[in-house]
Amino acid sequence: MAFLPMTTAVLVSAGGLTARLLPRLPPRALIVPGMLLISSGMLWILTMETDTSYVEGVLVAGLLLGVGAGMIMPVAFNYATHGIDQGDAGVASASLNATQQVGSSTGTALLNTIASSATADYLASHASQGRSPAVARQAALEGFETAGTWAAGIILAGALIVAVLMNTPRPKPPAEGTTGPAGAQDAQSTGLLPAHS
């Protein structure tokens, strides 16, 4: 239940905001702000203390992460198959899904290692205070904050790369007289609209 607001934010952002802006804006105009929101959510963790309430800490960070992810995922998945021939759409979609899964697993493992190392280092440096619950809570928070800092830095670097290198234009509307599903298919086959997997 604690992370339900974040899931809701993803759905609202992706289905409400991004779905309306995607046909009107170039992809980096959505991806870069989304990455900045996610980075802000990670940095918000740095403001948390062991006695921070759910609303002031986890809820705010989760909403920032959710809205940012909702701005990125539909655009990334849509444009990953942009300009792909219909015969290659299945391969492109499968490659995208596999890359996304590998990236998620690698990122989770990396951040978990960073957090665990930071927690262990904190416990080792405060061994004289014993293993009291207060020290354990602070050690766990130290791990979250360290991992959040690294994650924010990686995401900011990614936002900079996207802002500089991604020059894909916004999709062009289909030509006059090609309305309806057939027109949309013609526009996709000519590369005017991003293809859907």
The secondary structure of 12-44 as a DSSP string is: HIIIIIIHHHTTTS-THHHHHHHHHHHHHHHHH
Share of the chain above pLDDT 70, in %: 86
Residue 44 has pLDDT above 90, yes or no: yes
Most confident option among 11-25, 26-40, 120-134: 26-40
What token pair was written down for 75?
Answer: 């655009």
- How confident is the model over 75-112, as pLDDT tens digits? 888 887 777 888 887 888 888 889 989 999 999 999 99
Q: Can you give the pLDDT at residue 150?
A: 96
| Whole-number average pLDDT of the chain | 84
Instruction: For the chain, give the DSSP string.
Output: -TTHHHHHHHHHIIIIIIHHHTTTS-THHHHHHHHHHHHHHHHHGGG--TT--TIIIIIHHHHHHHHHHHHHHHHHHHHTTTT--GGGHHHHHHHHHHHHHHHHHHHHHHHHHHHHHHHHHHHHHTGGG-S-HHHHHHHHHHHHHHHHHHHHHHHHHHHHHHHHH--PPPPPPPPTT--HHHHHHHHHHTTSS----
Q: What is the pLDDT of residues 139-158, one digit of tens each?
A: 999 999 999 999 999 999 99
pLDDT at 187 over 80: no
Report the candidate in 55, 64, 84, 47 with the shortest Cα–Cα distance to residue 9.
64
Binned at pLDDT 50, 70 and 90, residue 183 comes out as very low
pLDDT score at 185: 44
